[in-house]
Structure 1
């Protein structure tokens, strides 16, 4: 009788794939995922150039000719509104020698003129003039490189991918969530940018779990029941949903968090309760702005949306929050917070900006400190990731999703 030897699976040849394959299930990521420049480049290739990213609310460029410049890693994106009202997104790279053609952070312009050799582009990216080029030069083939753009419930999303992930299910999810809160008719009340000395994944991982909310965010924890284990807030959630239904509103929710292997974007929409007597996310739990969308009263709840790995949304009945995570380098990132209010609301009459922004400013300043404490800690060569706690189930899911994405060419 011959003995057939057991077949052994060869470890992946690629060192990043080997590290991902060696990940210990149920635990955090190993040190190199936050420190290794080659892994950061893989992140940029397979997360940021593959998925959709929320850049802004469409109200930041309300008029024809309006533009704003956005930076993600090494890329610069010019977001514009054309004469016909359409929104365009182009790379800020001249098609001649690569100079930046947009040199201001925002404004209104019919044309962008490259400061190097004066190639001139219209605000939809078409090349209008290329001085002293030969007669047979094809201007139509040398417009600014355009990105895929989708606008859903007032939110502008871009994708760097040649063939973007299917956005239609995302648009439907946003329509049944943010759409109920009137985000399509909202406007930006305030924006705040936080520079963080940490790898972008540490910032996202912190955002998606509330295990830290009790010890780290006493202000948030006074009003938001999410800081409690799920089994302890089920009754509060049931009461919240009953109030929402009584208002005649059906806020969509659903878990469609999946990897991109099937050509789909990831989105998870869920709802959770505020404590009894709390109306919204504010210092004292009292309203801070006019009710939005279909809400005629406060339901005591929050709708939260995780989308595509870098974009996160929070919906209250009287205001909204966009949370953008922006990679810079392997050990730096930015977090941008965008506060939304009803489109016709006026500061000083309908809302006080300091009251509107207080809670999430305090919470984000605390998060920045926590994230940077963690970044300094994981630099230790003796750092070994520990087990993920039950209350960190969203972080565990995010880590698993991330590992699947960077392992998929």
Structure 2
């Protein structure tokens, strides 16, 4: 980053207006995009997938974060490793597919061969004093939080991630992610900056007008929507929702399911929010009829109506864990105006398609919602690129979580720029 670009970024960070959209360059400037990749995505814990992405020994997942290609590999002892996808000989990529299964990791260039843990096993024609133990694949920090996989590309990752693992782990554990399977994946390139994709996710102000499928099961009140209601029918709906929340949270907590919201996005380096939300109608799952999509419940669950365990992690993920299935989302920036949103649907590993679940019913709500959100993100990007763009105000009643994300982002930039 040039000195001029750095000075500009520092000025923008210093002058950020609370409870307002970020200034346009944060969404459009290629230099700021590069700073985001360096200061955010290469220095924080990034969600990359789930343990069922690599269910068997030898399974490999290739994750790309900017220019970095990282291999997530399960070894013969069922340990999972994260390693740079770079041969230690002359730098060739070892794996080009997004997912594959191997016995060993073999470089296609000169056949240097590595174990599933990254140790160099074979390098032909090297000198006698060559020390293979010093030429294993470069490891990347990896943590599994009850099956949710995070990596950090920094040499010294943020230590407060332990607080997230300690807090969120008990919420996630009953859903038994390790004994789930990924049954559907969707890659959607949204025509907007990654921050617009995250901001859109952090509020439900737009839900009733844009998400007819999703709002069959969710209440906007569960997503930070706290507007004063004047319409009598809306007032009654709000009272009904609050009564349900009080009863549901008490019942779920009594059953041993942590449910009360814990929100540390604003103050934590490894920011997060976790909490179990009441859902509408049957209240079982995020489907059109709000009933379970899979007859085979997760973990040891015997009760279908367990709400939606909603998890947000800074900077790039959100998740919905229900009694019968899980929907997991990850955001990967591609450029200043393009973002890859990866969505995965999981069910119990023993669930059988056509018997226990119907794929269309399982995936329809979020498949439709993702397309709708992509359109909205694209509209926001068009606005940010216009010379007429000015910073609009957030609603303090409905967009508090958007402000929390924006404040977190600015605080992290400020911390790194000052350092």
Decide: shared fold, TM above 0.5: yes
Pairing 1:324-339 to 2, within 5 Å after superposition: 324-339=330-345
Instruction: Report which stretch shifted further, 167-176 or 139-148.
Output: 167-176
* Structure 1 residue 402, shift from structure 2 partner: 0.2
SS of the residue aligned with 1:344? coil
Pairing 1:307-318 to 2, within 5 Å after superposition: 307-318=313-324
- Structure 1 partner of 2:235: none
Contiguous gaps of at least 5 residues in structure 1: 1-11
* Structure 1 residue 63, shift from structure 2 partner: 1.8
- Structure 2 partner of 1:284: 289
Which among 93, 97, 109 is matched to residue 86 of structure 2?
93
Q: Is the 8 A contact 1:67 1:78 kept in 2?
A: yes
Confirm or deny that 1:392 pairs with 2:385.
no
- Structure 1 partner of 2:191: 197
Q: Is the 8 A contact 2:171 2:257 kept in 1?
A: no
The CA distance in 1 between the partners of 2:306 and 2:123, in whole Å, is: 58
Confirm or deny that 1:147 pairs with 2:120.
no
The CA distance in 2 between the partners of 1:147 and 1:241, in whole Å, is: 38
The CA distance in 2 between the partners of 1:92 and 1:300, in whole Å, is: 40
* Structure 1 residue 174, shift from structure 2 partner: 2.9
* Structure 1 residue 226, shift from structure 2 partner: 2.2
Residues 212-240 of structure 1, C-alpha deviations (whole Å, 9 max, x = no match) = 11111122123211257337232231132
Q: Is the 8 A contact 1:192 1:336 kept in 2?
A: yes
Q: Is the 8 A contact 2:249 2:260 kept in 1?
A: no
* Structure 1 residue 138, shift from structure 2 partner: 2.5
TM-score with structure 2 setting the length: 0.88
Q: Is the 8 A contact 1:325 1:335 kept in 2?
A: yes
Which among 49, 53, 75 is matched to residue 60 of structure 1?
53
The CA distance in 1 between the partners of 2:277 and 2:122, in whole Å, is: 54
Residues 112-136 of structure 1, C-alpha deviations (whole Å, 9 max, x = no match) = 2323333332222122233333222
Q: CA 1:227–1:221 in 2, change beyond 3 Å: closer, same or farther?
A: farther
Which among 241, 249, 253 is matched to residue 241 of structure 1?
249
* Structure 1 residue 375, shift from structure 2 partner: 1.1
- Structure 1 partner of 2:374: 368
Which among 243, 251, 267 is matched to residue 259 of structure 2?
251
- Structure 1 partner of 2:359: 353
- Structure 1 partner of 2:205: 211
Tell me how many residue pairs correspond in the alignment. Answer: 395
TM-score with structure 1 setting the length: 0.91
Confirm or deny that 1:159 pairs with 2:152.
yes
* Structure 1 residue 294, shift from structure 2 partner: 4.5
The CA distance in 2 between the partners of 1:348 and 1:222, in whole Å, is: 24
* Structure 1 residue 37, shift from structure 2 partner: 1.3
Q: Is the 8 A contact 2:48 2:149 kept in 1?
A: yes
SS of the residue aligned with 2:213? helix
RMSD: 2.1
- Structure 1 partner of 2:226: 230
Q: CA 1:357–1:168 in 2, change beyond 3 Å: closer, same or farther?
A: same
The CA distance in 2 between the partners of 1:282 and 1:203, in whole Å, is: 23
Which among 395, 401, 405 is matched to residue 408 of structure 2?
401
The CA distance in 2 between the partners of 1:97 and 1:216, in whole Å, is: 51
Contiguous gaps of at least 5 residues in structure 2: 228-237
Residues 330-350 of structure 1, C-alpha deviations (whole Å, 9 max, x = no match) = 221111111121232121111
The CA distance in 2 between the partners of 1:103 and 1:146, in whole Å, is: 18
Q: CA 1:253–1:19 in 2, change beyond 3 Å: closer, same or farther?
A: same
* Structure 1 residue 210, shift from structure 2 partner: 0.8
Q: CA 1:305–1:134 in 2, change beyond 3 Å: closer, same or farther?
A: same
Instruction: Report which stretch shifted further, 250-259 or 147-156.
Output: 250-259
* Structure 1 residue 17, shift from structure 2 partner: 1.2
* Structure 1 residue 397, shift from structure 2 partner: 0.5
SS of the residue aligned with 1:218? coil
Q: CA 1:267–1:37 in 2, change beyond 3 Å: closer, same or farther?
A: same
Q: CA 1:198–1:102 in 2, change beyond 3 Å: closer, same or farther?
A: same
